[in-house]
Amino acid sequence: MAQKNYTGISVEVNEEGYFLDSTVWTKEMAVEIAKELELELTDLHFEVLNYLRTRFNAGEALTIRGVGKSGVIDIKGFYGLFPGAPMKKAAKIAGIPKPASCI
């Protein structure tokens, strides 16, 4: 597996750059990952990231529809925050594996 360096910490990632161990993730790392994806994070981004991390840690399947029903943000807003591939980008920034719902 590959290694990435975020905030001075070496993190194991898969071939697509997703964390292999979500417990090493920090908000500071999220900011660096977002910069790689040409995004600047806001408080709303972090609300979505925290929602995804909570659901992932609870063993729930992550889907765009689920995010839209989360009460945190609607689907249109989710696409606005993470344009192009919102679930893939959000999962990568949140330090969790790519959801099975993503191709």
Q: 14 pLDDT exceeds 90?
A: yes
102 a catalytic residue = yes
Report if residue 101 sits inside a domain: no
Q: 83 pLDDT exceeds 90?
A: yes
Q: How many domains in the chain?
A: 1
Say how far apart CA 36 and CA 96 lie, in whole Å. Answer: 16
Tens digits of per-residue pLDDT, 22-78?
A: 999 999 999 999 999 999 999 999 999 999 999 999 999 999 999 999 999 999 999
Q: How confident is the model at residue 101, as a pLDDT?
A: 74
What residue numbers bound the domain in which 51 lies? 2-94
Q: How confident is the model at residue 51, as a pLDDT?
A: 97
Catalytic residue among 13, 98, 102, 103: 102
Residue with tokens 């697509």: 16
